[in-house]
Amino acid sequence: MAGFEFYNEETATLEKEIERLGMALDIDWSDDVQVRALAREALSHGASELRAAANRAGDYRLRAKAELFGLAAVMLRIMEKSAGEGVLTHGGPAWKSFGRALWEESSGA
């Protein structure tokens, strides 16, 4: 299970970035309504589209959202890959809150 350490390191790194971007965007990860709205936006707008708009406008909040939405895709991919190896991978409170909201929004729950 050599990949296990990799997943832990990647998860910790991503969690820190998710938290950093959350602070820049003033996200309260314990506010389910706010996080669900963010997840809904992440699923309805492509990160590349958002990044392009942010670069044109020079808007740091749009750039932060684009980066956060890109990290969400990486986060989900890491969880998928680790699950395929029989490893449960998850981060801290921000990761869990955002991951749950993404799951709920994508499944229509």
The pLDDT of residue 81 is above 90: no
More confident residue, 87 or 68: 68
The three-state DSSP-derived secondary structure of the chain is CCHHHHHHHHHHHHHHHHHHHHHHCCCCCCCHHHHHHHHHHHHHCCHHHHHHHHHHHCCHHHHHHHHHHHHHHHHHHHHHHHHHCCCCCCCCHHHHHHHHHHHHHHHCC
- pLDDT, residue 86, reads 80
The pLDDT of residue 98 is above 70: yes
pTM greater than 0.95: no
The pLDDT of residue 46 is above 70: no
Overall average pLDDT of the 36-64 stretch: 77
